[in-house]
Amino acid sequence: MRLTSLSNKEVIDIDRGQKLGILGRADLTFDPQTGDILTLIVLNHRFGSTKEMMIDWGQISTIGKETILIKSPE
């Protein structure tokens, strides 16, 4: 999967039934030693402001055509 294929997908928390925002371009963090993806950075544009939310890669349940489904942190 390419990084560009993740952009513009809507991120949804399936445990809370809540839309968290849209994944923008290059919004991932990597482990510099292994190259593994650590987190997604979701940009949430609401009421004229932009907030970033970091989501642990292990929370991802499914990456679909238009959405990324995540589980709430425990």
Q: What is the domain partition of the chain in residue ranges?
A: 3-70
pLDDT of 31 reads 94
Residue ranges for the chain with pLDDT beneath 70: 1, 3, 25-26, 44-50, 74
How many whole angstroms separate alpha carbon 45 and alpha carbon 57? 22
pLDDT of 55 reads 86
Strand order in the sheet with 60-63: 49-56, 37-46, 18-30, 10-13, 67-70, 60-63
Phi, psi torsion values for 72, nearest 5 degrees: -65, 145
pLDDT of 51 reads 72
The reported pTM is: 0.74
pLDDT of 25 reads 58
Q: Which of 42, 47, 39 is nearest to 20 (CA)?
A: 42
CATH number of 3-70: 2.30.30.240
